[in-house]
Amino acid sequence: MTAVEPAALVVAIILVVIVVSRLAAPLRVPAPIALLVVGAVLSAVPQVPEIRLSPEVALFGLLPPLLYSAALSSSLVDIRTFRSKILSLSVGLVLFTAFGVALVVWALLPGVSFALALALGAIVAPPDAVAATAVARRIGLPRKITTILEGESLLNDATALVTLRTALAAAGLAAHGAEITQVTFATVTLDLLVAAVGGVAVGVVAFVVIGWLRRRLTEVAADTALSFIAPFVAYAPAEAVGASGVLAVVTAGLLLAYRAPILQSAPSRLAERINWGSVTFVLENAVFLLIGLQVWTLIRDTRTGELGTGRTLAVAGAVLVTVLLLRPLWLLGQAAVQVLRGRADRRQVLGWSLVSGWAGMRGVVTLAAALTLPEETPMRPELVLIALVVTVGTLVLQGTTLPALARALDVRGPDPREDALQEATVLGATTGAGLRHLEADPDIDQDVLEVIRQQAADRVNRSWERLGTLGPTDRESPAEARARLRAEMIRAEREELLRIRGNGEVDHAVLTSVLGQLDAEETALGWNATRTAGVRASELRPPDRVAGACEHLADDSAPHPPSDTEGCPECRAEGLTWVHLRSCTECGHVGCCDSSVGQHASRHFHTSGHPVMRSIEPGEAWRWCFVDEVLG
DSSP symbols for 547-586: S---TTTT---PPPPPSS--S-HHHHHHT----SEEEETT
Tell whether the model's pLDDT for residue 131 goes beyond 70. no
What's residue 543's pLDDT? 44
Worst-scoring range by mean pLDDT, 34-38, 113-117, 439-443, 477-481? 477-481
pTM of the model: 0.74
Which residue would you say has higher pLDDT here, 125 or 408? Answer: 125
Query: Residue 414: its pLDDT value, please?
Result: 60
Task: Please give the helix or strand (H or E) that residue 124 lies within, else none.
Answer: helix 114-124
pLDDT bracket for residue 474 (50, 70, 90): low
Q: Do 171 and 113 contact (CB within 8 A), yes or no?
A: yes
Q: What is the mean pLDDT of residues 98-113?
A: 90
Which of 3-7, 236-240, 262-266 shows the highest mean pLDDT?
Answer: 236-240
Cα-to-chain-centroid distance, residue 369: 24
Residues 599-607 have a mean pLDDT of 90
**Which residues, 6 or more positions from 187, have their beta carbon under 8 angstroms from its beta carbon?**
166, 169, 181
Per the model's pLDDT, the better-predicted residue between 561 and 323 turns out to be 323
Report pLDDT for 530.
Answer: 67
Is residue 553 within 8 Å of residue 630, measured between CB atoms? yes
Nearest to 132 by CA among 413, 403, 410, 399: 399
pLDDT at 74: 80
Q: What is the mean pLDDT of residues 553-573?
A: 69
Taking residues 43-65, report their average pLDDT.
79
pLDDT bin (cut points 50, 70, 90) of residue 432 is confident
Indicate the range of 90-94, 202-206, 280-284, 329-333 predicted with least confidence: 280-284
In whole angstroms, how far apart are CA 391 and each of 127, 398, 591?
9, 11, 57
Q: What is the mean pLDDT of residues 201-220?
A: 92
pLDDT, average across residues 172-193:
64
pLDDT of residue 555: 63
Q: How deeply is 446 buried, as exposed, middle or buried, from its count of CB atoms within 10 A (0-12, 13-18, 19+)?
A: exposed
What's the rounded Cα separation, in Å, for the pair 632 and 630? 7
Sheet strands side by side (includes 581-584): 590-592, 581-584, 612-615, 623-625, 630-631
Give the pLDDT of residue 465: 62
Secondary structure (3-state) at 591: strand
Tell me, what's the pLDDT at 538?
53
Average predicted confidence (pLDDT) for the chain = 80
Q: Which residue has the higher pLDDT, 501 or 135?
A: 501
Which residue did the predictor score with more confidence, 446 or 326? 326
The residues near 339 (Cβ < 8 Å, ≥ 6 apart) are 346, 349
For residue 420, give the nearest of 536, 573, 277 by alpha carbon: 536
pLDDT, residue 362, reads 86
Residue 472 has pLDDT above 70, yes or no: no
Average pLDDT in the 234-244 region?
A: 89
β-bridge pairing 630-631 and 590-592: unpaired
Of 90-94, 194-198, 327-331, 593-597, minimum mean pLDDT range: 593-597
pLDDT at 285: 84
Name which residue leads in pLDDT, 583 or 291. Answer: 583
User: Distances in Å between the alpha carbon of 618 and those of 96, 380, 538, 563?
Assistant: 48, 61, 12, 11
pLDDT band at 370 (very low <50, low <70, confident <90, very high): confident
Poorest-pLDDT segment among 95-99, 171-175, 294-298: 171-175
Q: How much is the pLDDT for 135?
A: 64
Q: What pLDDT is recorded for position 542?
A: 44
Return the higher-pLDDT residue of 547 and 463: 463
Q: Is the pLDDT of residue 541 over 50?
A: no
Burial of 363 (0-12, 13-18, 19+ CB in 10 A): buried
Phi, then psi, of 6 in degrees rounded to 5: -60, -40
- The answer on pLDDT for 619 being more than 80 is no
pLDDT at 471 over 60: no
Which one has a higher pLDDT value, 386 or 516?
A: 386
pLDDT of residue 377: 82
The residue-averaged pLDDT of 150-159 equals: 82
pLDDT of amino acid 625: 81
pLDDT exceeds cutoff 50 at 589 = yes
Q: What is the mean pLDDT of residues 518-532?
A: 74
Q: What is the pLDDT of residue 212?
A: 94
Do 154 and 74 contact (CB within 8 A), yes or no?
yes
Q: Taking residues 392-401, what's their average pLDDT?
A: 84
Percent of the chain exceeding pLDDT 70 equals: 82
Q: What is the pLDDT, as a whole number, of residue 122?
A: 93
Which residues is 613 bridged to in the sheet? 584, 624
pLDDT of residue 200: 92
pLDDT of 265 > 90? The answer is: no
- The whole-number pLDDT of residue 284 equals 80
One-letter amino acid for residue 276 of the chain: W
* pLDDT surpassing 80 at residue 24: yes
Angle at 297 between CA 291 and CA 299, to 5 degrees: 100
Query: Would you say 260 and 232 are in contact if contact means Cβ atoms under 8 Å apart?
Result: no
pLDDT at 528: 67
Residue 298 pLDDT exceeds 50: yes
Q: How confident is the model over 481-487, as a mean pLDDT? A: 81
pLDDT at 17: 92
Contact 623/614 with Cβ under 8 angstroms?
Answer: yes
Between the CA of residue 365 and those of 159, 324, 372, 386, 605, what are the distances in Å?
Answer: 12, 17, 11, 14, 59
| Average pLDDT value for residue range 478-488 | 78
Q: Please check the confidence at residue 603 and state whether its pLDDT lies above 60.
A: yes
pLDDT at residue 46, rounded to an integer:
81
pLDDT at 366: 84
For residue 165, the surrounding DSSP H or E stretch is helix 143-170
Interatomic CA distance for residues 29 and 82, integer angstroms: 31
Reduce the DSSP state of residue 630 to 3 states and report it: strand
Residues 6+ apart with CB under 8 A from 359: 127, 132, 135, 136, 141, 145, 149, 398, 402
Residue 311: exposed, middle, or buried by beta-carbon count in 10 A (0-12, 13-18, 19+)?
Answer: middle
